[in-house]
Each structure stands twice: as structure tokens, then as C-alpha cells.
Amino acid sequence: MKLIGMLDSPYVRRVAISLHLQDIPFEHVPLSVFSTFDAFSAINAVVKAPSLVTHDNVVLMDSGLILAHVERLAASELKLSPVDLKTHARAQRIVGLALAACEKTVQIVYERNLRPSEKWHQPWLDRIRGQLVAAYRLLEDELGRSDRWLFGDRPLQADITSAVAYRFSREMLPEIIGPDAYPALARLSDQAEATEAFQAFPFC
């Protein structure tokens, strides 16, 4: 299989780390939706990162749908979602909050970097910033209950996505997501970034 996209995308990075932790072999092809648009479009005309090319040359996109598919390929002891229904619901809530934080970070970055400053719509930016902060506040509350990993003795998808999201937002919006604002997230991030899987696919 081939994973297409750059590791500065939290969506690409969470898939790469998840595949690695599930011991699913794949090749990472670091194509950008911006600087290598034509090469990316030759693989996926939609040019959406991440894209995953399966063994049967089916092109999947959207990190959530890709992870739902590869979860079916993983050995039972390496799956990244809790089995218990109540625990699964909480894990999905945490993943949803982390993905919302990613989405709002991307919206702010795109508004700032792709639109001339005189055309920025400040009420829209203020609204997105409020949503971003709310997502991290709620995520911090969820993570505050755990001393190590959220659901056991190894990182599951809730840990992976939360740590990837926080690192992404901290790097892209340091003036909003400071190092001391969310101590539980910072602790999880430091712990995750020290693992072999995260170091194999670093934010860059």
C-alpha cells in the first residue's frame, strides 16, 4: 500500500503512525497538495491528503475512512479502537474533538496564508479561534483523567489523534496554543513524540 501526503498534515501523520503501530506495511509517498499538485493529481484527481492506494489499487481518501478500512486489516491485539461500547463512545468523542481542533487550525492557517491580509474577515477568524479553543479546552478535560495512555498500556487512536493534533496546532498557531495552556495535552504530546512510531513519522 502507498500513503500519499506530507507529514506536516495531521491527517496524513495520524494515518502513518496508526499503520505503523498496527504493523501494516506501506510506502509513504510525500507529495504536497500545493508544490506537487500535478504529481498528486496523477494518483488521485481530487488531490486530497491523505490518500491511500490499496494493494488492489483502490484509492481511498479521508483519514477517518482510511483508518476504518485498515483497522479491518490489523491483528486483533493491534487494533486501535476500544471494544467496549461505552469506552468506544468516549474514545470517539476524544478523536472528534481532536479532529475539530485540526480543522479549525487549518482554517485559520489557510485564511492567513492564502488570502491577502486586507481581505481577512476578522469576525470569521474570531469565530474559528473560539471553536479551536473550545475543542482544546474540552479535550484537556478528557485527558486530565488519565495518567498515561487514555485506555490502557499502549496508545490507541484517541491518543494518537490527540497528540498529533496538539503538535500541529502548537507548531502552526503558537500564539493561540501555547506550551503551558493545556498541560495534560502537552504531557500526552511529549510522551507520544518520544515513542518509536511518532519518531518514525515526525512532524515536518
Residue 201 pLDDT: 98
Give the span between the Cα atoms of 35 and 43, in whole angstroms: 15
Bond preceding residue 179 cis, omega within 30 of 0: no
Residue 104 pLDDT: 98
Residue 170 pLDDT: 97
Residue type, 24: I
Residue 116 pLDDT: 87
Residue 151 pLDDT: 94
Give the span between the Cα atoms of 144 and 176, in whole angstroms: 20
Q: Mean pLDDT per 10-residue run, the chain (204 residues)?
A: 98 98 98 97 98 98 98 97 97 98 97 88 94 98 86 96 98 92 95 98 94
In three state form, how does the secondary structure of the chain look? CEEECCCCCHHHHHHHHHHHHCCCCCEEECCCCCCCHHHHHHHCCCCCCCEEECCCCCEEECHHHHHHHHHCCCCHHHCCCCCCHHHHHHHHHHHHHHHHHHHHHHHHHHHHHHCCHHHCCHHHHHHHHHHHHHHHHHHHHHHCCCCCECCECCCCHHHHHHHHHHHHHHHHCCCCCCCCCCHHHHHHHHHHHCCHHHHHCCCC
